Amino acid sequence: MTQHQDSEYSPDHSGPPTGRRERNRLQTTLAIEDVATRLFLEHGVDAVTVEQICEGAGISRRSFFNYFESKDQLLSGPSASVITPALLAEITELPAEEGLPFPARVVELVGRAHIEVRERRHSRSIDPALSREITRRRAVLLRTSPELLYARHHSLDLAKERLQKAIIANLTEHPANRCLRDLALEQEALLLVNMVTSTVWSALALAHSSGSGIADAEVFDAATHALGTLHAGFDRLSFE
C-alpha cells in the first residue's frame, strides 16, 4: 500500500488551517473519511464501494481520487511515516553517552516521533473531535479487517528494515553503544528493532483498550514502564 502525505496537518505549521482553499480540502477529506469508516464498520470493508462513499460524502468519483488513490489507502488512513529520513539520521548519529542506554534512547526517539505525528495531525484538523473518532474507528477496523492488518504489517516490515539499517550503522560507528556483545551486530540490531516495535504496539494496545485509540505521551510512559517491569528477571531465564 502506497503511503501518502497526511492531509490533516502540515509539518511546517501548527494550529487550525486558515486559507479557505485549504479548509475546503480538509473538510472534504474529513467528510470522505467519516462516511467511509462508518460504512466500513456497518457493512464490512469488501461490501462498501467507492461509489457509495462518494454518494455519502457528496462528491464525484473523480473528486474521490483527488484525495485518495484507492479504497485501501482510505482504509489505512492518511499517515505521515513515523520512521522518517530525519529520524533515521538522528538514530544513526546518536553518540555513546552516560545515562540512558542506547536501546532506551532509540525507543524514546521513536515513541516521541509517533506522538508528535498524531498530535500534529489532530491539531491541524478542522474538527479534532471527529478526527479522533475516525482514528478510533480505524483502530476497530484494524482489529477486525485482515486486509488492513496485512497492509499495516507490510508497511511495518519496510519501516523495520530501514530502522535496522540505521541501528547497524550506529553500532558500527559507535561500538560503545552496544549492549549485547556476545551476539553478532546484526542480531543485536534485529532484537532492538523488535523491542521498539513491541513498545509502539503495546502503547497502541493500551490506547485501544481504553477506548480512545490515541497513543499519547501518558500511554507511552505506561507502556514502557510496564514492559520494563515485565522484563525484569528475563536475563536469568534458561530454556535448557
Residue 24: pLDDT over 50: yes
The more confidently predicted of residues 17 and 120 is 120
Distance set, CA 11 to CA 7, 24, 205 (Å): 10, 19, 26
Q: What length is written for the chain?
A: 240
pTM above 0.75, yes or no: no
Pick the CATH number of 20-71 from 3.40.50.10540, 1.10.10.60, 3.40.50.970, 1.10.10.10: 1.10.10.60
Average pLDDT, the chain: 82
Number of other CB atoms surrounding residue 191 within 10 Å: 16
Q: Cα(34)–Cα(36) distance, rounded to whole angstroms?
A: 6
- Helix, strand, coil tally for the chain in percent (to 5): 70, 0, 30
Domain range summary for the chain, segments of one domain joined by +: 20-71, 85-227
At 175, the pLDDT band (50, 70, 90 cuts) reads very high
Q: Are 123 and 9 in contact (CB under 8 A)?
A: yes
